[in-house]
Amino acid sequence: MLPSATAGGQALFKILRGKSILTYIHYHGNPNQLCFLARRVDGEESDQLAQFLQREYSVVNILGRERAHGYMWWSTACVPACGCWTWAAAPEVGHLHGAALRVHVHGVDLSTNMIHIAIERQGKLEEPLKKKLQFEISDILTVDYERESYDVIYSRDSIFHIPEKQKLFRHIYRWLRPGGIFFFTDFCSGPAIPSREFLAYIDGAKPDRVSPEHLPYQHGISCKVFGNFCVTPPRASVTPAVNSRHRYSLAGKDVYVKELESAGFTDVTSEDLNEDFMKISKAELKAFTSAREAFISDFSEEDFAEISSTLANKIQWTQEGQLSWRAFMAIKN
């Protein structure tokens, strides 16, 4: 696969778009014939989000986290008749059987590793299901699809990677047919004041590099990072860690609803899933911890420590009200 990262002043290629060829899928059940659109870039050119995703969602990282969350949980996924860019289980569509046979599924992700795993698993599905799936490497903010071409668009826990949420929602609104549904789950900022550790996780900085005077005040300040409480860009003085791995753009529930309505959606609803998230996460953490030795033999002790600490921290932050897991549904009339 063409390298999408740049290094050492070399001229490399940045993947703008790559996808399986539908003709091969429909007639031969073969998703492994792909076409690419790439642009030559100089070594100094940087696509920070793409490079971050390559680190955060390396093949080893994806497979390792699946050991905690469940098989296929972290691979690219979609729901019938939708375009999406999330890390859920794409071949999970296979479990829909009859329903899946009546629809076509188009999965989109910026991470080449996610698409690689999705296509690999697509190839192992039963023939009728295999022919209903197509996966694509694309930046969902720059790619475009035919107007009113989808009935349902689904995303799971991925929009928090994208700062330009209204731009994204306007694209989705244009792609949906009248009466179409946009359904997604995502991590949001909660009502509590974020701690130094939480801000460090979001910004990819070490906790000791976030100074107390740069933490948000109790009444909160509006900005693109948090919906209720945040550090505004002019005041922020968070030095990224050398090997920064977390760069997220969280927003509060009200921000999501407002941006969805501004994009043209009606009947926007939101549901608090915090209790479900904590219940599931605690069970996953318990099972993952009990399988420590087996995991370390297949991966590493460092991987185990990172995954288990991230799970524990998210449980704590959700309990404290700093983090929230929510479901949203919006309809295009």
What pLDDT does 245 receive? Answer: 44
pLDDT at 290 over 90: yes
In a domain, 16, yes or no: no
pLDDT at 287 over 50: yes
What pLDDT does 63 receive? Answer: 87
Residue 195 CA: distances (Å) to CA of 69, 161, 201, 202: 26, 20, 10, 11
pLDDT at 311 over 90: yes
pLDDT band at 226 (very low <50, low <70, confident <90, very high): very low
In a domain, 224, yes or no: no
pLDDT band at 41 (very low <50, low <70, confident <90, very high): confident
pLDDT band at 224 (very low <50, low <70, confident <90, very high): very low
* pLDDT per position as a tens digit, 79-133: 333 333 333 334 444 444 445 557 788 999 888 888 888 899 999 998 888 998 9
Q: Which residue has the tokens 């100089």?
A: 42
The 3-state secondary structure of 108-126 reads EECCHHHHHHHHHHHCCCC
Q: Report how many domains make up the chain.
A: 1
Q: For residue 90, give the nearest of 55, 66, 61, 56 by alpha carbon.
A: 66
Contacts of 205 (CB under 8 A, 6+ apart): 199, 238, 239, 240, 241, 244
Most confident of 28-32, 98-102, 213-217: 28-32
In a domain, 214, yes or no: no
The rounded distance, in Å, linking the Cα atoms of 221 and 234 is 12
How much is the average pLDDT of 190-207? Answer: 84
In a domain, 152, yes or no: yes
CATH of the domain at 262: 3.40.50.150
What pLDDT does 103 receive? Answer: 79
* pLDDT per position as a tens digit, 142-173: 998 999 999 999 998 989 989 999 999 999 99
pLDDT at 19 over 60: yes
How much is the average pLDDT of 49-74? Answer: 77
What pLDDT does 10 receive? Answer: 58
Q: How many CA atoms are closer than 13 Å to the CA of 258, on its beta-carbon side? A: 6
- Work out the angle at residue 102's Cα, subtended by the Cα atoms of residues 88 and 94, and round it to the nearest 5 degrees: 35
In a domain, 138, yes or no: yes
In a domain, 304, yes or no: yes
In a domain, 72, yes or no: yes
Domain range for 74 is 47-191+247-332
Q: Which residue has the tokens 């799971």?
A: 156
Q: How many CA atoms are closer than 13 Å to the CA of 198, on its beta-carbon side? A: 27
Q: Which residue has the tokens 């995303």?
A: 155
Contact indicator for 327, 184 with CB cutoff of 8 Å? yes
What pLDDT does 205 receive? Answer: 55
Q: For residue 32, give the nearest of 129, 116, 127, 91 by alpha carbon.
A: 116
pLDDT at 244 over 90: no
What pLDDT does 46 receive? Answer: 53
In a domain, 165, yes or no: yes
Q: How many CA atoms are closer than 13 Å to the CA of 189, on its beta-carbon side? A: 30
Residue 33 CA: distances (Å) to CA of 37, 134, 272: 14, 11, 41
